[in-house]
Amino acid sequence: MGSRANAGLSLRKSIARHYDSLALLYRTFWGEHIHHGLWLADDVPPRIAQEQLVAHLAERAGVSGAERVLDVGCGYGAPARWLANQRDCRVTGVTISGAQARLARRYNARSGCDERVDIVHADAAALPVRCGTVDVVWVIECLEHLEDKRSFVEETARILRPGGRFALCTWQRGDAVPESEPLIQGVCEAFLCPSLASAEEYRAWCDCAGLKVSCSEDLTPQVRATWDILLERTRRPWVAPLRWLLDHEVRRFVDGFTTIALAYASGVMSYGLLVASKP
């Protein structure tokens, strides 16, 4: 195995360990939806804003009843359960974290979704899915962790049926921003991302894979409140003593909240939505 392959394997193990070890921290700080919220109006609670992001992506992707959805990077399964309950979809969620998979199955059973939502403990870089069997490949904030994002887009084109859609929400660097930009590097180091791709790169990869982009949006102004809220929560009195119980990697992750807020504010980073279809 070459050095690059070894590095990729080491990164995937680090990501799995990160989500395994921080399952309780994620739930405490951000709930069952562990992704950005979408604020379409002021004074909306974070949980509602997170569901609004899911609903917005579902609308843009034209997700309708009884479709087969592959949710890659499903976390605790909250978007998958939303798709099952609100769109009557049959969803397979994939997560690299064993802890997330166990909790997602528990929440599915508790909410009565276990017959419509399956959770698979697997690597997004090696999806166990047959060719042409999926209506929607659904990805909210997972591709940031993948080293070879272009190959994932190509794999998406393989597993989608004709007429199927690729529905993506993702952290992006600005189209004219180099990978060496210090704030981008800081975000990548804090959040275990080998790189952040640009909106232009995602559109180009879809085109090369034979997927037709139908929607590409910059949602940064509507999602930035996510980090204001998280930073406020880290400043609560009970959190300060907790920091010293965390290891270096976890403290770097929490300190990354400030870095990502600065990256958004400076414009070097954006939050993008993309939908592409297979002819």
Angle at 170 between CA 164 and CA 171, to 5 degrees: 165
Residues 37-76 pLDDT 10s: 999 988 899 999 999 999 999 999 999 888 999 999 999 9
Sign of the four-CA dihedral 67, 55, 117, 120: positive
271: which strand partners? 171
pLDDT tens, residue by residue, 127-151? 989 999 999 999 999 999 999 999 9
Instruction: Measure the CA–CA gap between 209 and 253, rounded to whole angstroms.
Output: 34
Name residues whose C-beta falls within 8 Å of residue 130's C-beta, 6 or more positions apart in sequence.
159
pLDDT confidence of residue 22: 75
By CB atoms closer than 10 A (0-12, 13-18, 19+), residue 31 is: middle
Residue pair 167/137 in contact by the 8 Å Cβ criterion: yes
Looking up tokens 């659904």, which residue turns up? Answer: 138
DSSP state of 35: S
- Predicted confidence (pLDDT) per residue in 210-251, tens digit: 999 999 999 999 999 999 998 888 887 766 656 655 666 777
Q: Cβ distance 274 to 168 under 8 Å?
A: yes
Run of H or E residues at 56: helix 46-60
Classified by CATH at the fold level, domain 3-277 comes out as Rossmann fold (3.40.50)
pTM above 0.95, yes or no: no
Report which of 163, 143, 182, 212 is spatially closest to residue 62, judged by C-alpha positions: 163
Helix (H) or strand (E) run with residue 199 in it: helix 199-208
Encode pLDDT of 2-16 as tens digits. Answer: 544 444 567 788 888
Domain layout of the chain by residue ranges: 3-277
* Six-digit token string for 132: 């042409």
